[in-house]
Each structure stands twice: as structure tokens, then as C-alpha cells.
Amino acid sequence: MEALKVVLVGLPGSGKSTFGKVLAKELRVDFLDLDRLIEQQSGKTIPMIFSEKGEGAFRELESKELERVLSNKESFVLASGGGCPCFNDNMDIINQKGISVYLDVPLNEISSRLQHSRVSNRPMFEGLDAGEITLKLKNLLAQRGRFYDQAKIKLSGNDFSAEFLIMELISILKSQSDS
């Protein structure tokens, strides 16, 4: 059987890492986090890369790491960065080499999560109050939504189950093997 490569996409705070770990455990495959992989490869944190080299350099590193991971022969669940699908044809590459899943979580839920998480890991939201976080998320969704909407599977709401997604994945894999 071909390797199962599931790539989770969505806004920061949509649960890509949290849900990805649960899904990977259910599927009995490795969980990978693209941002952590970039940090390991570069020896720098994401905020350091942004401040030292700028977003353009970060996006290049991100695309190279995405390509490297997707050319892997093993099965995995990958949490991509929120902006990853929106640059350098990454969404096309994800859809060619894996099964993309868009975690479409209501903005008020994401805003609440971000307010209660460590925003130091998310420089984009540092120092923002609840209203500013929600406004930032709306702007991000306006810019990125068209990329997220290209995902092969869309899970909407703030409570989705690994079991449901596994059924969807099986359906996609079956249709691919039938064609």
C-alpha cells in the first residue's frame, strides 16, 4: 500500500498540531510539525528566522522542508504552518503528494484559544488584545481562505473527531486505488 501522507492546513490556532497528534496516534503513523522540522534543520526558532532573515527567507525554507517531507516514503500526519499553503505553489504540491485536510474552526474559537495559549510561540499575535486577535484572524482568513479551500477534505466546527476523518481518508484512498 502507498504511504499515507495527511497534511493539515488552517489558520494559526485551528488545532493542526493538537488534532494532528491525535490523528497520527489513531492511524498509527508518525506526527510531524513543519515548523519544528524547520527549526531543527536551521538551528533557529521561527521568530529568530523571521527577525534575522525576513518572511521571504522563511517561506523558502518552509517550501524546501515541505518538499523534503512529502518526498518521504513513510506514512505520516503533518501539521503545516498557517501560511504554508499560500506560498510558492505549496498547496498544489501538498495536493499532488498528499491528502490535505482544512481545519475550518470558527474565528471566535481560534481567538479564544490564542488568548489562552503562549503567544510567544506566535509572534504574529504577541501583544494583541482579544479584538485585535480576532481582526488579525479575519484578515488572515481573507488572504488565505482561497488556498485552504483547495484542500481535499474540509472539517468545519470546533470539535471534529479523528474517527470521522479516518473514514473520509479511507474513502479517498479507495477511490484513488479504484481509478
Structure confidence at residue 118 (pLDDT): 63
Query: pLDDT at position 10, please?
Result: 97
Going across the sheet that includes 76-79, the strands are 30-33, 76-79, 5-9, 99-104, 153-156
C-alpha–C-alpha distance, residues 105 and 9, integer Å: 11
Q: CA separation (Å) from 85 to 100, 118, 131, 159, 163? A: 10, 24, 26, 23, 25
Q: Please give the grid coordinates belonging to residue 119.
A: 503567544
- What pLDDT does residue 173 have? 74
What pTM was computed for the model? 0.91
In tens, the pLDDT along 89-136 reads 999 999 999 999 999 999 988 988 888 776 556 777 878 888 898 999
Please give the share of the chain, as a percent, with pLDDT higher than 90: 61
User: pLDDT for 137-161, tens place per residue?
Assistant: 999 999 999 999 999 999 988 667 7
Confidence grade of residue 67 (pLDDT, cut at 50, 70, 90):
very high
Confidence of residue 53 (pLDDT cuts 50, 70, 90): very high
- Taking a C-beta distance cutoff of 8 angstroms, is the pair 83, 94 a contact? no
